[in-house]
Structure formats: structure tokens, C-alpha cells
Amino acid sequence: MSKCEMSDMCSFFNNEIGNLPTLVRAMKRRYCQNDKEHCARYMVRQKVLRTQSLLDSDIHLELESDISSMYPNDHPKAQRIMSRINT
């Protein structure tokens, strides 16, 4: 378990997608500081980074927009997004 290296650029970690203080603190502790591998945002971003050279720029922008509005525990949305990415 390790702290997420994407925290600096993560809209969730930086409180840019809404504010539910108690819930956000708990999610940050769990996903951002201890268990990044199970963060839905992290999983999708990693897949996007691995396939970035294969993605059309419009699709890439759309995916980034989808990721930026996700919560770390939004695994169903993560699966829908990742299913749109051809590997």
C-alpha cells in the first residue's frame, strides 16, 4: 500500500468535484494515502496512460472529463469507461 503519486493533479484529492467533508476525508485516507490500486480514478487513469498513444484526441479529452468527475469508489463507472478503451 502506498500513497498515490497522482494526488497533486487529482481533482478529487484537491477538492474540486464537490465537498462532503467527512466522506472525502475517509476516502482520501483509504484511497489516496493507503490503497491507490483500488481507487477507481487511479485504475482508469492508468489504463488511459497505457493506451494513450492509441486513443483519438477527442476520446482522450472525453475520458479525462469522465475521470475528473468520478469518486474513488465509483467502480461501476470505472468499468464502463475502461470498456470503451480498446487495448
pTM of the entire predicted model: 0.73
Query: Quick one: average pLDDT of 34-41?
Result: 93
Instruction: Please state, in angstroms and rounded to a whole number, the distance separating the CA atoms of residues 74 and 87.
Output: 22
Q: Compute the half-sphere exposure of residue 60: CA atoms within 13 Å on the CB side of its CA.
A: 11
Query: Quick one: average pLDDT of 5-32?
Result: 80
Mean pLDDT across the chain: 83
Instruction: Please state, in angstroms and rounded to a whole number, the distance separating the CA atoms of residues 25 and 12.
Output: 11
What is the tally of helices (H) and strands (E) in the chain? 4, 0
1 pLDDT higher than 80: no
Which pLDDT value is given to residue 78? 93
Name residue 36's amino acid: K
56: which 3 cell numbers? 483519438
